[in-house]
Amino acid sequence: MKIAWKLFGGVAIFYLVVAVVYWRLSSEIVGTAALGLSGGLGALIGFYFWYTNRRVGVQPQDKEDGEIYEGAGELGFFSPGSWWPLAVAAAAIVVGLGLILGWWLTAIGVGLLVAAVVGFTFEYSRPGVGPH
């Protein structure tokens, strides 16, 4: 992860410098905003990798002489199967259709989307379900 945060930090700096140069040469606000937001996204990902690297420590992929077996072990809990992504996608479709057909359908879609995202988020928060 040491390389990843440096890479995304470099991407963030590059986009922010290009945004300043673009703004000075063109005075066009939309492209400047897009480049600035791209730099912000690079900085956000770089910060996450930096923070995770600091918290977790040196990983096998960071070492020059790291071996594959050093990364063995439990990687975490992965859902064996879930219907919630389908519900989130269907609600997003309703929101999109609502933007085309009418605001009343958008309001219904947003309600469905909130319910689906909450269900997806707390899918394994019930007692007796998920990792223990």
94 shares a domain with 49: no
25: in domain:
yes
92: in domain:
yes
**Full domain range(s) for residue 112:** 84-121
Q: What is the tens place of the pLDDT at every residue in 39-74?
A: 999 999 999 999 988 888 878 877 888 888 887 887
Q: Which residues of 97-121 are buried (b: 16+ CB within 10 A; e: fewer)?
A: ebeeeeeebbeebeebbeebeeebe
Which has the closest alpha carbon to 34: 15, 48, 47? 15
91 shares a domain with 53: no
The pTM (predicted TM-score) of the whole model is 0.59
67: in domain:
no
User: Is the pLDDT reported for residue 131 higher than 70?
Assistant: no
Q: What is the tens place of the pLDDT at every residue in 73-99?
A: 877 777 788 899 999 999 999 999 999
Contact residues for 6 (Cβ-Cβ < 8 A; gap 6+): 46
103: in domain:
yes
42: in domain:
yes
18 shares a domain with 51: yes
90 shares a domain with 40: no
73: in domain:
no
126: in domain:
no
* Residue bearing the bigger pLDDT, 58 or 123: 123
- Could you give the CA distance from residue 8 to residue 109 in angstroms, rounded to a whole number? 35
54 shares a domain with 10: yes
22: in domain:
yes
Count how many domains the chain has: 2
